[in-house]
Structure 1
């Protein structure tokens, strides 16, 4: 069993690390203190993404992407996830559902998204539809060969900078016909209801959108009518893998900073790492990170080896649960080791501590991940998680 990272994967890891350190880290404090970055800075960062070849990393080369493997995506996400302010979002992941589009849709939406000429936001969540997508109330009514969309979407991440929407709606209000639509943001009837402020700092916004009699053609249906839930599941799986990678990166950065500080900080005549209380915290952090990294790399390699889609769904849930909850524990210890300095916003540890909290909520709460895992245990038995392949 060869556990060494392939040379190509190591090259992607180095590329992402260089990009994060040279282009993301320098803007962290400015973003935290100002709440946003100037348009000129964002433009420079987008150009830097292209220059480093980090655009379209999750899509094939023939549609403008980089054709990265899942292991490579995990390594990239881990390095980018070390940046605060969700600056990793500067590197977009065009939604995996787009690869199921028609040739026209791929040329009009996926290809330019991979080339960073366009950007989408995925709109699923609603006031009454969070963990249960069957509670979606947004509807797309057929009318004279077109669809008329009415509804409301919440927590639309990066919706402020996107120019088109991948919208989850029920055709004719039928909950058995959940369908995805490609909707240009500039169409009449689309407006931002409000832009809430959240605990974390995020380089882009999470607006709430209102759709009032928005008309789209039949050629804007992405995938089959009634197939929206399955396509949305695939998007959730990809998002959960991304979150696992980024939270792993956040935990690693916090651990490295806390470990260094524990050696520098002196109290009672010696470095605080010489006190068993601190030493034990560092030991726990190291083991949790090591275990999560091993799990992330293993699952990534299994996916690259053709793991069954249902098993991918189950393992992605297990990984997201483990990584997001691990990051919360590690960040809490890192803050404690830094003491008062760990509570200062200028400290990356303080920012990361706030930012990883949402990872136990979005793209499926920890409780939903446990529901998925429990369901798979009932159907397939314990070996799905305790076995090897």
Structure 2
């Protein structure tokens, strides 16, 4: 593990994990949140892939993967309080970087990515939000669903048709923006995923990021990074689950023997260990290829493969571990129960498992089997 990964592991053990139960019960304090942000900045584990001149760490993808893996060892998405920003902002103009990216990496604001719609979920080609030219810029009209961080964001990154897919940076206090729904979700993360309506929202020409019509390329890079990040955090979750459940199985005795000596306990742990090791190797290979400058479309396909495998494997691991813990595993103070709920969404967001399978299958056809597999 590199030094960044070591710092991240200590941060998770010393700062995040002690907050987990309080966060689960809705009792995490503003002081706890401030501590998470302050310690993340002081330990230099925030802003990972972003350039140092912008306030990030300038890590390689491999270094970033190892840090994200450690963040995945904690539940309740407490690592969401670590200052960061979506990779899209790095493609902004100098003015956009000064206004949005640098403050985000200092922990002063949050961005939110608004792409999903009622009729455009895993298939973003169905987006109906429009951007219409007006005298001094653009008018945005549409509704976005499941906008993560949408309840706390200072700026929305909005995908709209102009008429080709284009990304816009829209300040959250712009007239015409409203929250039309804030649904409760299975997990107890600190931020919501509300439905946001843009009704005649006026922005200037300087709101466009990545150029008119540049939305698809930026979004493909965003999806690849997000999917690899999900794989990294899933690997960390499996590590934590297997560590704590193995320790429990060794210490727990039933019928005069340790429960780990029973195949019904030992075999699920062994299967989970194989899943975790395979997923980690796959994720690290994708990160290595990204660092080596491999064809972005190949990296995109392999990131989908990593997200697919790890998200499915982590769900299996959480279910097995909860079963091994027995009744204790069904309590909200137990790590297996929390991961059992929290990991479920990884098979859905940033593209469902079914969409990842389609992406991988198409890559086999278009890029060739060997490029996708090796």
**TM-score normalised to structure 1 length:** 0.93
Alignment pair present for 1:159 and 2:150: yes
Choose from 98, 120, 128 the match for 1:129: 120
Alignment pair present for 1:30 and 2:22: yes
Alignment length (residue pairs): 374
1:106-255 maps to which residues of 2 (within 5 A)?
Answer: 106-171=97-162, 174=163, 177-255=164-242
Return 350-359 or 40-49, whichever deviates more. 40-49
* Contact 1:145-1:218 at 8 Å conserved across structures: yes
- The aligned counterpart of 1:75 is 66
- CA apart distance, 1:93: 3.5
| Secondary structure of residue in 1 paired with 2:157 | strand
User: 2:25 and 2:103 mapped to 1: Cα distance?
Assistant: 33
Return 204-213 or 318-327, whichever deviates more. 204-213
- The aligned counterpart of 1:85 is 76
Choose from 91, 101, 125 the match for 2:92: 101
- CA apart distance, 1:92: 4.0
Alignment pair present for 1:380 and 2:341: no
* Contact 1:138-1:149 at 8 Å conserved across structures: yes
User: 1:273 and 1:44 mapped to 2: Cα distance?
Assistant: 38
Q: What do residues 57-110 of structure 1 show as CA deviations (whole Å, max 9, x unaligned)?
A: 120112221101101111101111111111121224411111221121122122
User: 1:23 and 1:194 mapped to 2: Cα distance?
Assistant: 33
| Residues 124, 246 of structure 1: alpha-carbon distance in 2 compared, 3 angstrom cutoff | same
User: 1:42 and 1:208 mapped to 2: Cα distance?
Assistant: 25
Choose from 253, 267, 275 the match for 2:254: 267
Alignment pair present for 1:49 and 2:40: yes
Choose from 268, 277, 283 the match for 1:296: 283
User: 1:24 and 1:16 mapped to 2: Cα distance?
Assistant: 10
- The aligned counterpart of 1:18 is 10
Gaps of 5+ in 2: none
| Secondary structure of residue in 2 paired with 1:209 | strand
User: 2:312 and 2:83 mapped to 1: Cα distance?
Assistant: 24
- The aligned counterpart of 1:353 is 340
CA RMSD of aligned residues (A): 1.3
- CA apart distance, 1:372: 0.6
* Contact 2:272-2:317 at 8 Å conserved across structures: yes
- CA apart distance, 1:117: 2.3
Gaps of 5+ in 1: none
User: 2:181 and 2:255 mapped to 1: Cα distance?
Assistant: 52
User: 2:131 and 2:286 mapped to 1: Cα distance?
Assistant: 37
1:317-336 maps to which residues of 2 (within 5 A)?
Answer: 317-336=304-323
User: 2:46 and 2:246 mapped to 1: Cα distance?
Assistant: 33
